[in-house]
Homo-oligomer: A and B are copies of this chain.
């Protein structure tokens, strides 16, 4: 196997392998943005992890006209989360939250042809994603929080 080019390797270092695996399993994320007047907005979005740039790329129907796209163009503030319920008894939720900055790309990006929101991670918070976590008592789990 050949080595990936250096820029790919450094771009993907932000996420652990467990986080990358988890990103690949979830069909829907939720993106929070901030309107110019400071009120918040949050909505479900399809997404792709872009291994070349180390970003979360978000496309979708009518993206350019959407409130979230205009919010990102205005101030670049975003938070993004994926999660799922592992069990309801005990109540066990896993999640991966990404706080960062984003670009509103009018001409598409990577594998996405249309207007795209590209999220650059600055802080990653993952919870319940370590291999042994599912066997631990939920209230004893600690989030893995780090700046990237």
**A interface list, Cβ under 8 A from B:** 27-28, 30-34, 38-44, 46, 61, 77-81, 83, 85, 88, 91, 93, 95, 97, 99, 125, 138-139
Copies in the complex: 2
B77 touches A40 (CB 8 A): yes
A40 touches B30 (CB 8 A): no
A79 touches B28 (CB 8 A): no
Pick from A80, A85, A93 the residue with the most CB of B within 10 Å.
A93
A44 touches B77 (CB 8 A): no
Q: Which secondary structure dominates where chain A touches chain B?
A: strand
- From A91, which residue of chain B is reached at the shortest CB distance? B46
* Contact pick for A41, options B46, B83, B97, B139, CB 8 Å: B97
A43 touches B81 (CB 8 A): yes
A32 touches B28 (CB 8 A): no
Q: A42-B42, A44-B93, A93-B44 are in contact. Are A30 and B81 (CB under 8 A)?
A: yes
Question: What B residues does A32 contact at CB under 8 A?
Answer: 30, 32, 40-42, 79
Question: Complex formed: what's the CA distance from A30 to B33 in Å?
Answer: 13
